[in-house]
Amino acid sequence: MKRYELRGMNGVESLQVADAPMPTPGPGEALVRVHAVSLNYRDLLVVSGMYPGSPPLPLVPTSDGAGEVAAVGPGVDRVKVGDRVAGTFFESWVSGRLTERDMATARGGATQGMLAEYVVSHADALVRVPDHLSFGDAATLPCAAVTAWHALFEVAPLRPGETVLVLGTGGVSIFALQLAAMAGAQAIVTSSSDEKLERARGLGAATTINYKKTPDWEIAVREATGGAGVDRVIEVGGPGTFQKSLASLRVGGRLSLIGILTGFAGGVEVVPILLGSLHVDGIYVGSREMFESMNRAIARTKLSPVIDRAFAFADAPAAYEYLRSGAHFGKVVIRID
Ligand SMILES: NC(=O)c1ccc[n+]([C@@H]2O[C@H](COP(=O)([O-])OP(=O)(O)OC[C@H]3O[C@@H](n4cnc5c(N)ncnc54)[C@H](OP(=O)(O)O)[C@@H]3O)[C@@H](O)[C@H]2O)c1
């Protein structure tokens, strides 16, 4: 069977197709025939050697994959042959709080990932996916969707009528927009592209702001909320957007710190947090239990993930380059059919 391997971390050119023996599931494990994977910004960090930690080399990259159970090992009754499943981002985080041990089981970074025709996974680290989703759709869920779900519903549940500020139109942000709309909340979306903002309005965004044309977008956000500020921010920008995101919040509002698109470090003016009684939560993907809760909501509402473009397995490096270009809206998928 074929899989991609990273033998070094010098960028997308480090991605190499390799032949590997068919893996065999051991006790408690399942063999999954992977039909699709999706890419996350993190996968760009991993191939460039910029993701924290020391991945085992050679590394099969990407955290997110979906497929069909092809065989199960001894003692497995959680899944059966033929089940349509996706892998959880952290193989060991089933429920409760994230632990350091769980962090050491992040697929496609700390442990082997999904960009392969077949993978063996612990059966506890698989979830059944909603029937209405294709394998490509399902492959978009494990990182971006679970992260948005965790931020909006697991820490302090978003309530109908609340307002959520969503930064940019990448994978996490478009799921946050869709989930906010599903919950009856209003979304304000920023983007560098007017064309993408128009698409965001089509998905239910009530207000859209071009952050290139309106560098003081936090003022526009406050104006759009009658001066009050938003209830929540899905903060994917990091140091370059953090202060403006704080300034966009209402008194007592909540910022979910998710991303580092503008870099890893920067200064923080702390006074707005204490004067505004703001809540700042670090969010790191989510547990299997969160993934399963989200899948129930997705199945009930027939939410359909937004896939910008799907690439063939042989074109995986081109898929990475496309993600890096930032031209996408929503998710980028690689099919392994
Ligand atoms: N903490 C976690 O568990 C977790 C989970 C998933 C992702 N993340 C992080 O969250 C971030 C987003 O990940 P992703 O996979 O969704 O990325 P992605 O799909 O690659 O999103 C890229 C998009 O972000 C937008 N963007 C870039 N710079 C921006 C800025 N300064 N202000 C506003 N928007 C900006 C752009 O949207 P426009 O083209 O519309 O301008 C760009 O197209 C990354 O830093 C990733 O590492 C963290």
Is 214 touching ligand 1 by the criterion CB < 6 Å? Answer: no
Atom of ligand 1 nearest to the CA of 172: 16
- At 53 the pLDDT is 84
CATH class of 2-143+286-335: alpha beta
- At 219 the pLDDT is 98
Instruction: Output the CA 268–ligand 1 centroid distance in Å.
Output: 20
Q: Whose CA is nearest to atom 9 of ligand 1?
A: 259
Is 217 touching ligand 1 by the criterion CB < 6 Å? Answer: no
* Largest pairwise CA distance in the chain: 61
Q: Whose CA is nearest to atom 19 of ligand 1?
A: 170
Atom of ligand 1 nearest to the CA of 258: 1
Is 14 touching ligand 1 by the criterion CB < 6 Å? Answer: no
Is 260 touching ligand 1 by the criterion CB < 6 Å? Answer: yes
Atom of ligand 1 nearest to the CA of 196: 40
Measured torsion, CA atoms of residues 235, 236, 242, 245, in degrees rounded to the nearest 10: -40
**Topology at the third CATH level for domain 156-282:** Rossmann fold (3.40.50)
Which of 12, 37, 38, 41 maximizes ligand 1 atoms within 8 Å of its Cβ, making it the mutation to test the pocket? 41
Cβ atoms of residues 85 and 64 within 8 Å? no
Is 109 touching ligand 1 by the criterion CB < 6 Å? Answer: no
Splitting the chain (337 residues) into consecutive groups of 10 residues, what average pLDDT does each group show?
96 97 98 98 96 91 98 98 98 98 97 98 98 98 99 98 98 98 98 98 98 98 98 98 98 98 95 98 98 98 98 98 98 96
Is 209 touching ligand 1 by the criterion CB < 6 Å? Answer: no
Residue 61's Cα: distance from chain center in Å? 15
Cβ atoms of residues 185 and 161 within 8 Å? yes
Atom of ligand 1 nearest to the CA of 173: 16
Q: In angstroms, rounded to a whole number, what is the distance separating the alpha carbons of residues 146 and 331?
A: 14
Instruction: Output the CA 179–ligand 1 centroid distance in Å.
Output: 17
- At 337 the pLDDT is 82
Which of 37, 38, 40 maximizes ligand 1 atoms within 8 Å of its Cβ, making it the mutation to test the pocket? 40
Instruction: Output the CA 152–ligand 1 centroid distance in Å.
Output: 17
Q: Where are the domains of the chain?
A: 2-143+286-335, 156-282
Instruction: Output the CA 148–ligand 1 centroid distance in Å.
Output: 12
Cβ atoms of residues 199 and 223 within 8 Å? no
Helix (H) or strand (E) holding 216: none
What is the end-to-end Cα distance of the chain in Å, rounded? 12
Instruction: Output the CA 157–ligand 1 centroid distance in Å.
Output: 22
Q: Whose CA is nearest to atom 35 of ligand 1?
A: 168
- At 196 the pLDDT is 98
Instruction: Output the CA 237–ligand 1 centroid distance in Å.
Output: 6
Are 2-143+286-335 and 156-282 the same fold in CATH?
no
- At 52 the pLDDT is 85
Measured CA to CA in angstroms, residue 72 lies from 1, 114, 123, 127 at distances of: 18, 17, 8, 14
